[in-house]
Amino acid sequence: MIADRPRLGGTVLRRRGRRPRADAAIPTINVVFLLLLFFLVAGTLAAPEEADIDPAHVGTGAGERLPRPLLSIARDGSLGLNGKALSREALAGAVAALRRPEEGRGATLYVLPARDLPASTLVAILGEAAAAGAATTLVVMKTGQRDAGASP
Amino acid sequence: MRAPRQRAVRRFVLTPLVDVIFLLVIFFALSSRIAPFGLIPVTGHGVAAGDRPSGVAAPAPAAGPEPEATLVLSRGSVRIDARRLPLGDLAAEAARLEAEGIETVLVVTARSASAEDVAAALDALRGAGIAAVRLIAGPGGGADPS
């Protein structure tokens, strides 16, 4: 009914061509486009198994994107290097192959452990990666408040 | 959408574009992580003697002075010398250690410790300015799930 009014006025004024009505879906499209831009700018592509890992939470530190090369360790100790499953035996070879392209001494390997992975497994894997010649960096999730130290 | 009455005015059709954009949105929403990550460099680490899988060479011990303080890390708590304190208090304790002039710390993980505890401890030590941290799995902590 409200929409009738301008059309009525238009007929009274004898406007030539009818002004092309903007598509009603355009506001929706705008929002969807903004969503797309948001995910493009703020997100980092992650392999499904990396997305499944719940990393350790730490209260401080600067927010970073998910770095590469990324070694993910699930809570059962299974490994994935950049999203590809990796056996524990193949770890040393894969780490050694990582440093090959840049010819530098020791590429940095980013390790994303699940938060409830046993620390002994984590330390063992870190030790193997270091023995294969990589500098290692733990990847944790940054939270606003410090809740990491709360006793269970 | 109504068909144009008089002339065949070709209007710009948005629907296919919107479909593609929508698919892109779904793809990026499902496959990206937007959480901020923190990076904690791990400097020196080794494996306790009993825990090393056979066939793996012993990692070279981290070069540097002998550690001046030892932290035994278990789930949610840490033991320094004879004192046990919750992991949340480690930041203050690490600041105190740093003020005492202690620069190298040995972190030994007990059996109950998880990756979360390791990350919290390393983060607290780094926040206090203690850069030289050696990370070692303690004896009895070597239950290897793989």
Q: Describe the crossing of helices B15-31 and A26-42 by its angle, rounded to 10 degrees.
A: 30
Cβ contacts of B16 within 8 Å, gap of 6 or more? none
Query: How far is the C-alpha of A119 from the C-alpha of B51, rounded, in Å?
Result: 12
Backbone φ/ψ region at B76: left (φ over 0), alpha (ψ -120 to 50), beta? left
A 2-41: CB under 8 A from B: 20, 23, 25-26, 28-29, 32-33, 35-36, 39-40
Over range A70-77, report the average pLDDT.
89
CATH class of segment(s) B44-53+64-137: alpha beta
Complex-level ipTM? 0.71
B 3-22: CB under 8 A from A: 11, 14-15, 17-18, 21-22
Per-residue pLDDT band at A73 (split at 50, 70, 90): very high
Backbone φ/ψ region at B53: left (φ over 0), alpha (ψ -120 to 50), beta? beta
* Residue A64 DSSP label: B
Are A150 and B40 an interchain contact pair (Cβ–Cβ within 8 Å)? no
Per-residue pLDDT band at A105 (split at 50, 70, 90): low
Residue boundaries of the structural domains of chain B = 44-53+64-137
Please calculate the CA angle B31-A27-A1 and round it to the nearest 5 degrees.
Answer: 145
H helical segments located in chain B: 15-31, 90-99, 115-127
pLDDT of residue A34: 92
Query: How far is the C-alpha of A59 from the C-alpha of B120, rounded, in Å?
Result: 8
Contact present, B36 and B129 (Cβ < 8 Å): no
pLDDT of residue B33: 81
Residue A55, phi then psi, degrees to nearest 5: -75, 165
Cβ contacts of B74 within 8 Å, gap of 6 or more? B109, B110, B111, B112, B113, B117
**Cβ neighbours of B47 in A, within 8 Å:** 123-124, 127-128
Per-residue pLDDT band at A150 (split at 50, 70, 90): very low
Out of A23, A40, A138, whose CB is closest to B119?
Answer: A138
Would you say residue B98 has pLDDT above 70?
A: yes
Per-residue pLDDT band at B15 (split at 50, 70, 90): confident
Cβ contacts of B24 within 8 Å, gap of 6 or more? A36
Contact present, A65 and A148 (Cβ < 8 Å): no
Over range A70-93, report the average pLDDT.
89
